[in-house]
Chains A and B, each alone.
Chain A
């Protein structure tokens, strides 16, 4: 199995944010994690990417137990992520932002060319020397994905990649995400906007109160009663 968690639990004091979750992810499938605010989606991604230590449970990547691996170790194994709130090097140029993750790859011979290619892929090449705090929010989201892609990841977590993006600007980001999946990256993303979710996801996981309450192909998940009730509401 490509990526798998077993009995994953995270408690903050008395409060259980992720409760005994066991789930596995296939290679080269886009999975969406949906669920109401506070369901534990971000916490789940934080556990998988190493930002938080689980209270209980295990995480396996390509058969390797990575539960106790530090963030940078997981990243060098090929697990990349973005954050719900844009998390980039605000004071550095767009170019430097992409260079930093690239510097961790020892086999990147022609680093300047690789950066140019990555920036072109995300249509950021025209603002490459701009300080990243000065670019638009949408471009910052793209830049953060570009930084994640620079790691040449196998597994990519995106925490609400469309948060704060105008509906008319979402297309570019959605397109890039689907394109990344086509290039062989397994994408797991959190998203609220159900329309966008259905455009991208092959699989959907529904979280509620720290637990996975439904999982299935996106075509069938809409029919799930529980999902209708707690998430899709009027749909």
Chain B
């Protein structure tokens, strides 16, 4: 274990390498570009074992990542905003075929090219982009240390469940330089090829793998969807993660729900106000959403406050998952703007 002074982008590369990542394909876009530049630094020193390609666009980066993953490499990519939009092309194929790619999403302002450094407007796109229904895992770390820990975890989860896995972060987090503990993970999932498993095969049809993403009849397509749904329902409770932050165990009447960077502010606000009747619920996996854990925290709660740097993305998830419960939901939403602890302290005061 060592402490190092690093930016979020540098931390991601340390984490990826320590998770056994072997290949990176990407296209520059702020605020995720430095992940690629940092990967190149390591790649130049270790060309025999690492792979790197700056592709012609994000579709190429996403699909080349898929190509490397199917042959058994732990490969990843990183993008943001308009790049995330283009990469949904590849992500939807990875979702349909359950190909364990890893992607780091550095959220920037939306819609469109918008602003370059911060937002939380890519939650829906990252979790549910494409014409599928979100059979992909999305972690939303809240601190730089978590950025390290959950990037490692993303590789492990992706390969353990053979499911595309995302780390949803933002430019504020990626550009911050701070001290992090670089620990070597004890257990790493192994990667494995989905094709070309053996060089010595004979005539048997069953020895060959034919992977497809399109179906000629609706029933086949329905069958694939059912397989996806069954798998998702089986694995999601093993993947779901959340955090509850409260100053002590006294009775609570207010629940703040936030994720990522905003959850950090909310924590700080709770710590600063010493307000004992308020607690924070933070989904760490925004997909699968920790529904049961959230429901458990609702005893005695008279109001929920959802706060996010988006207009209604986390809010939609909360509403969907709490359907039928009659707890009023208030919002403090600022698309593409940061939310400070001071603002949340004000928010708590106003909603006493």
Chain A partners chain B: no
Write the residues of chain B forming the contact surface with A, with a CB cutoff of 8 angstroms. none
Write the residues of chain A forming the contact surface with B, with a CB cutoff of 8 angstroms. none
